[in-house]
Amino acid sequence: MRLILLGPPGAGKGTQADKIAKEYNIPHISTGDIFRANIKNETELGIKAKQYIDNGELVPDSVVVAIVEDRIKQEDTKNGFLLDGFPRTENQALALDAVLKEIGIDLDAVININVDSKILVSRITGRRICKNCGATFHVEFNPPAEEGLCDLCGGELYQRSDDNEKTVQNRIEIYNKQTAPLIEYYSKQDLIKTIDGEQAIDKVFTHIIEKLG
């Protein structure tokens, strides 16, 4: 199963991505994760990306696409993959199409998790993350058993500095401007599977699996 996951910040993509990856035994390929891995391992692409990041610049599409291409050619993707955080723009989608055509594979579906912007703001500003293991909780929807402490490892929970209303609104606007047009792009290829992301986590997952058939 070769999939792309779309959805605005706070739509629950990370949670659903982990579940989907386990269900289909495919790697969850997060662009953030592969960037960090390439930079940490000082690969040629990682060094290039770090130069832009250190200068406070956006990593150009050519480098991003090359890093993703390298990742989806690795051995563990033989059953497929789930791309999360890429493509972000139509230009990146066009570049990905070219890469997949060169490799000789096709996408099976593009999952679009849809959530109202007011709910997104509430979700993100209430999010708390474990400093130790990275587990995610929410003060309202998924509170820890003991306030301020992770259920899994007992680590301290914190709120990300960018999880405030002003920054969240800005992130949503950027998503709507840059990434939301991909819904139409992939609709023309008959790949879009739109999911109501305002349901409970398990219901969202069940809906995804049903849509994927």
Position 99 scores a pLDDT of 95
- The DSSP bridge partners found for residue 109 are 3
Give the domain range for residue 20: 2-115+176-212
Mean per-residue pLDDT, 69-76: 94
The 3-class SS string of 175-208 reads HHHHCCHHHHHHHCCCCEEEEECCCCHHHHHHHH
Which CATH number characterizes residue 200's domain?
3.40.50.300
Portion of the chain with pLDDT greater than 90, in percent: 72
**Which segments within the chain are labelled E, that is strand?**
2-6, 28-30, 81-84, 109-114, 127-130, 136-138, 157-158, 192-196
Residues acting as catalytic residues: 13, 88, 127, 160, 171
Please tell me the distance from the alpha carbon of residue 56 to that of residue 59, in angstroms, as a whole number.
9
**81 occurs within a structural domain:** yes
Q: What is the pLDDT of residue 209?
A: 97
Confidence check: pLDDT of 208 > 90: yes
Q: What is the mean pLDDT of residues 56-61?
A: 83
Assess if residue 40 is contained within a domain: yes
In which band, very low, low, confident or very high, does the pLDDT at 204 lie, cut at 50, 70 and 90?
A: very high
Give per-residue pLDDT as tens, 79-135: 999 999 899 999 999 999 999 999 999 999 999 999 998 899 988 899 999 999 989
Instruction: Please list, in sequence order, all residues whose beta carbon lies within 8 angstroms of the beta carbon of residue 71, skipping any fewer than 6 positions away.
Output: 29, 34, 77
Q: Within a domain: residue 14?
A: yes
Helices 61-72, 44-54: inter-axial angle, 10-degree rounding:
150
pLDDT band at 177 (very low <50, low <70, confident <90, very high): very high
Total-model pTM: 0.83
53 located within any domain: yes
Residue 209 CA from chain centroid, whole number: 18
pLDDT of res. 109:
98
Total number of domains in the chain:
1
